[in-house]
A and B are shown apart, each in its own frame.
Chain A
């Protein structure tokens, strides 16, 4: 039996799975743009539901290989055989590798902490100075 196109599986999963709001967020900074504020990656609830259920998402290595495929050229991930169920923590790691540049999660060799996975409660609710947010470098602290 064919597994079809990824978008078809996503539409089917959205129809049958309840969305799951993650309890995690990913803070990251771009080392190539040190003046930019820290970014906050927010997992999508339908993506999380599909990841936790399994048999919807392709292997993460297909996304990583597709990053070197020029836009407009055929991609591997939409047609790859789906992987099984993940835990929430595995799904967050999958998202980090999929949606954050490898220059941040894989290749950075500096001393500064430029990425942290944190509970959603630790993201500041006061956005008055949002464009000044940076990852706090003190141990056990993540306030902006």
Chain B
């Protein structure tokens, strides 16, 4: 594996410090199918735990620096009018999510994708 040791990256017009790229890239992501119980695409995920209807936990291979909102931030998407919520259960090594239908306030099993940004341990 080769290493580029550069201070800035440029497209010929605009130049940014390399830290923008390193710090701005997602540190974990997963596309998980709760119905088939399978992980399809991922990065930095060791396993996903199916915790019940519409509820699952990401387990990270390389831990984040902390567990709180200042350490990690999430974004996710799923089909239809459902949304992904953070359940409040989080550590440096795992995060629990649930898929919710806002119109009924009920959880549901479906595909979903989540990316996680933050600082690694």
Contact = CB atoms under 8 A, between A and B. Distances in A.
B37 A44 contact: no
Interface stretch (A4-12, A107-115, A135-143): A4-12
Contact of B47 (A7, A75, A77, A99): A99
B37 A123 contact: yes
Contacts of B62: 5-7, 10, 77-78
B76 interface: no
Contacts of A71: 65-68, 71, 91-92
Interface residues of B, number: 38
Nearest to A124: B37
Contacts, number: 111
Interface in A1-37: 4-8, 10-12, 14, 21, 25, 36-37
Interface residues of A, number: 40
B39 A39 contact: no
Name the residue among A14, A25, A46, A50 with the largest chain B CB count within 10 angstroms: A46
B43 A21 contact: no
Given A46-B45, A47-B46, A71-B91, A66 B63 contact: yes
B8 interface: no
Contacts of B39: 42-45
B6 interface: no
A25 B50 CA distance: 10
Nearest to B65: A72
B43 A46 contact: yes
Contacts of A77: 62-63, 121
A47 B53 contact: no
Given A12-B1, A44-B30, A130 B109 contact: yes
Given A7-B120, A39-B49, A47-B47, 5 more contacts: A21-B38, A43-B46, A71-B91, A127-B109, A131-B53
B61 to A, nearest CB: 6
Nearest to A95: B47
Given A7-B120, A21-B38, A39 B50 contact: yes
B46 A99 contact: yes
B35 interface: yes
A37 B55 CA distance: 11
Contacts of B53: 127, 130-131
A99 B50 CA distance: 12
Nearest to A66: B63
